[in-house]
Amino acid sequence: MINEQYKAMLGGKSVIRELSEYATRRGAQIGYENVFDFSLGNPSVPAPRDFTDAMVDLYENGDPVAIHGYSPSLGIPSVCATIADSLNHRFGMDYEGRHIFPTTGAAGALSHAMRAVTKPGDEIITFAPYFPEYQPYVNGTGAHLTVIPADTASFQINFEAFEAALNPNVQAILINTPNNPSGAVYSTQTLTKLAAILETKQQEYGHDIFLISDEPYREIVFDGNTQPYPARFYANTLTCYSFSKSLSLPGERIGYVAVNPKATDADLLVPMMGQISRGTGHNCPPSSIQLGVAKVIDETSDLSVYETNMNLLYDTLTSLGFDVVRPGGTFYIFPKALEEDATAFCMKAKDYDLILVPSESFGVPGYFRMAYCIDTEKVKRSIGALERFVHEQYGK
């Protein structure tokens, strides 16, 4: 019989996907260039030419039986070693290849990391605003997701609410920095304080609490800054990564979990993820793409457009009177809406062909997200529409 649980989920469509589909339909009417589609976090810059060259070289000159052959169930050893080396020299870590578990993007990474360190009925804490897909990811493991209200002053962590929520059933903390949707980059101070609290609570509760750190935007940080590496602050850290944003490869489903060698049972966690894979049908990311990304491991696409776009939008929104925290990274900005009901606000914006995502599904009421991974030329053209919208609807 068909599974009633999944059948009941059929209504639960992502708000972001729905808006993106509306933008596509509207584009068919008036030309997509005239729709200011800030809905979807799909990178707008091409993959590096070196990646394309590496893949063409593999296809043209490699042995097809080897390139397209089964990956070992814990990933291709040379690829794991390359990823470990890169993390070590960039962040002063001491990973070996056996601490790296290649996955189908960050979604695959998170689903393995969560299953490895929780069991059904456990509690996982995350911080608003948060990526809405965390809810189905956690539901899929049988654990429960608790969302800590946002610190809307900075979109760092609301530590008061966090400490009040901690309890012995909490087995994992899920963070996302740089953050989708706020663009916040967790600071050294934030990560230090978070680690100290978790160390104390591990002692108090007498069990490990794992930090699952979701970092697909790690390389998109503005003003010449960098993202402090969370695993440097806390031993029990599972770093979840995707090359989708740094190399503009979201559709290729390639990422990894990196297990901090200082974590409890560090040597067991990757083999355990291999076992988890067998039950979910994951069975490794594509072999050829594993080999391809390893060839350009320290490269990125030209990510500068995102900073250009952020500055344009931040200046515009500020001058229009929006309450907005300046993003430190990502390709998102998360201003406060001009009325309490963010969905009503975003519906009105549609009349100006501005596709904005209301904040409710991110766990914060009254805000909206703009994904500015689009051409700068279009961002510039959107400013007039933003001005008209705010002037006509809110008299500003």
Binding to a copy of itself in span 268-297, by CB under 8 A: 268-269, 271-272, 275-276, 278-289
Residue 77 touches a copy of itself, criterion: CB under 8 A? no
Residues 87-116 that bind a copy of itself (CB under 8 A): 103-105, 107-112, 115-116
Q: How far is the CB of 70 from a copy of itself (least distance, A)?
A: 5
Cβ proximity to a copy of itself: between 270 and 354 the closer is: 270
- Which residue among 67, 165, 312, 383 contacts a copy of itself (CB under 8 A)? 67
212 contacts a copy of itself (rule: CB under 8 A): no
> Which residue has 């961002």 as its token pair?
379
Q: How far is the CB of 12 from a copy of itself (least distance, A)?
A: 7
Nearest to 102 by CA among 237, 275, 218, 254: 254
In the bound state with a copy of itself, the residue whose beta carbon lies nearer, of 189 and 280, is: 280
Q: Does 81 bind a copy of itself (CB under 8 A)?
A: no
CB closer to a copy of itself out of 141 and 179: 141
Out of 29, 33, 50, 68, name the contact with a copy of itself by CB under 8 A. Answer: 68
377 binds a copy of itself (CB under 8 A): no
Q: Which stretch binds a copy of itself (CB under 8 A): 130-138, 211-219, 320-328, 362-370?
A: 130-138
Please list every residue from 40 through 59 that binds a copy of itself, using CB under 8 A. 40, 42-47, 52, 55-56, 59
Q: Three-class SS of residue 369?
A: strand
DSSP code for 149: P
144: which residues sit within 8 A by CB, 6+ positions away? 121, 122, 123, 124, 138
Query: Residue 322 CB, nearest distance to a copy of itself (Å)?
Result: 29
Give whole-number Cα distances, 379 to 24, 106, 172, 307, in Å: 17, 28, 39, 12
Residues 6+ apart with CB under 8 A from 248: 43, 45, 46, 47, 301
Distance (Å, rounded) from C-alpha 371 to C-alpha 350?
A: 15
Site for a copy of itself contains 166 (CB under 8 A):
no
Shortest reach from residue 176's CB to a copy of itself, in Å: 15
10 Å CB burial of residue 387 (0-12, 13-18, 19+) is: middle
- What is residue 36's three-state secondary structure? strand
Burial class (CB in 10 A: 0-12, 13-18, 19+), 311: middle
Q: Which is nearer to a copy of itself, 172 or 324 (CB)?
A: 172
Q: Which is nearer to a copy of itself, 273 or 342 (CB)?
A: 273
User: CB of 76 within 8 A of CB of 98?
Assistant: no
Residue whose CB is less far from a copy of itself, 249 or 354:
249
Are the beta carbons of 229 and 93 closer than 8 angstroms?
Answer: yes
Structure tokens at 208: 């490990």
Neighbours of 256 (CB within 10 A): 30
- Is the Cβ of residue 134 or residue 367 nearer to a copy of itself in the bound state? 134
Verify binding: residue 251, a copy of itself, rule CB under 8 A.
Answer: yes
Of the pair 170, 175, the CB lying nearest a copy of itself is at 170
What minimum distance in Å lies between the beta carbon of 85 and a copy of itself?
23
